[in-house]
Amino acid sequence: MFRSVRRKVPWLIVFEAALLMRSHWRLLPPPDRARLAELLRRSGGRPDRLTREERAEFRRLVGGLDLTGIARDMAPFGRRLRGHR
């Protein structure tokens, strides 16, 4: 399955999305980036591995990433993946 998906993904779009995510990541102050990265490593992608206070801190830090702006900036990539209608 991975092989067929790999052929269908336009890698230029993946690269552009990675650059976009990096630019939003860099908008966070360095201490917040470090703490968010630490929480991500500790959780391993599973929120139940964090304490209640750490989950609240995680939500606060992620709020600084402007997720709505990321979604808005990535919307043109979705159109390119689906094709034009």
pLDDT, tens only, 2-37: 566 566 667 777 888 888 889 889 989 999 999 999
To the question of pTM greater than 0.85 for the whole model, the response is no
* pLDDT higher than threshold 80 for residue 84: no
Give the DSSP H/E element, type plus range, for residue 5.
Answer: helix 2-8
- Confidence category of residue 44, pLDDT binned at 50, 70, 90: very high
Q: Residue 6: its pLDDT value, please?
A: 60
Residue 12 identity: L
- Give residue limits of the domains in the chain: 1-27+66-85, 29-64
Number of CB atoms found within 10 A of residue 21's CB: 14
Residue 66 half-sphere exposure, CB side, CA atoms within 13 Å? Answer: 14
